[in-house]
Amino acid sequence: MAKKLLDRKGVDYNEIRVDLDPSKRQEMMKKSRQRTVPQIFINNEAIGGYTDLVAINQSKRLDNLLAQS
CATH of the domain at 50: 3.40.30.10
The Cα 1–Cα 29 span in angstroms is 21
Count of domains observed in the chain: 1
- Contact call for residues 65 and 43 (beta carbons, < 8 A): yes
Average pLDDT on 24-37 reads 94
Residue 31 or residue 69, greater confidence: 31
What range does the domain containing 33 cover? 2-68
Q: With a threshold of 0.85, does the pTM exceed it?
A: yes
